[in-house]
Amino acid sequence: MEKMLRIVVLVSGSGSNLQNLLDGIAEKTLTGVRIVGVISNNAGAYALERARKADIPALAISPKDFPSREVFYQRLEATLEDFQPDLMVLAGFLVVLPENLVKKYENRILNIHPSLIPAFCGSGNYGRKVHENAIARGVKLSGATVHFVDAGTDTGPILLQKSVPVFPDDTPEILQKRIQQDAEAVLLPQAVQLIADGRVFFRDGNAYVREVPSRK
């Protein structure tokens, strides 16, 4: 049987990126992957409901339920280990992962960010603020980036980017929606497929896509 790439998706909010992966798997446009678990730091995240509807184990692990950050991180790490993921996908996950976890899963954690990195990224650029900042700067293009996670914030190897236009009358909400629909919806499933197909390689700290799939 074909080897399935085991994915754990980490979420905090609505979970539209998770849904894009679930839809891709259901419609068989995303193949060779299995979402084995979804973890949210927020028990009220709609993303958890989306996971449960798809019969995927969905857990809330919230820092506020633990006596310290350290204990929270220990539980998160232990839970991740139980799922034995080949790949972790941060899909709107708002918690910064501890350095040891990032090291342990080096080049095996993907993040999606709603701008063309290195523009409008790093601390302070999350949620609506990314789009407010892009509009305030008057950029004519924005978009989304899928990158691997390293110890910094939005600094890891870039895997894929997709641009969308920014129009004069855009509000942050309108731009956010355009990026979600026209860039993120395409990019994250595509990135996961490339990894499942063994087409991603690293050189000099950057990530690249092999043109021809390697034999597995």
Six token digits for residue 178: 């355009």
> What is the rounded distance in angstroms from the CA atom of residue 35 to the CA atom of residue 37?
6
Q: Which is nearer to ligand GRF, 69 or 128 (CB)?
A: 128
Among 26-34, 65-73, 112-120, 133-141, which window interacts with ligand GRF (CB under 6 A)?
112-120
Residues forming beta bridges with residue 112, ordered by sequence position: 146
179-183 contacts at long range (C-beta below 8 A, 24 or more positions apart): 179/114, 179/115, 179/131, 179/142, 179/143, 179/144, 180/16, 180/114, 183/114, 183/143, 183/144
- Which residue is at the shortest CB distance from ligand GRF? 92
Q: Which is nearer to ligand GRF, 114 or 156 (CB)?
A: 114
Least distance from ligand GRF to the Cβ atom of residue 140, Å = 20
Q: Is 109 in the site for ligand GRF (CB under 6 A)?
A: no
Least distance from ligand GRF to the Cβ atom of residue 45, Å = 8
In a 3-state reduction of DSSP, which class is residue 141? strand
Among 5, 7, 8, 15, binds ligand GRF (CB under 6 A): 15
**Catalytic residue status for 113:** yes
Q: Is 30 in the site for ligand GRF (CB under 6 A)?
A: no
Q: Which is nearer to ligand GRF, 21 or 194 (CB)?
A: 21
In the chain, where do the E strands start and end?
5-11, 33-40, 58-60, 87-90, 109-113, 141-148, 158-165, 200-203, 206-209
Q: Is 50 in the site for ligand GRF (CB under 6 A)?
A: no
Q: Write out the H or E segment, with its range, that includes residue 136.
A: helix 128-137
Q: Write out the H or E segment, with its range, that includes residue 67.
A: none
Q: Is 154 in the site for ligand GRF (CB under 6 A)?
A: no
Q: Which is nearer to ligand GRF, 16 or 190 (CB)?
A: 16
Q: Which of 36, 48, 113, 207 is catalytic?
A: 113
Mind telling me the catalytic residues?
113
Q: Given the rule CB under 6 A, which residues bind ligand GRF?
A: 11, 13-17, 47, 91-92, 112-114, 144, 180, 184
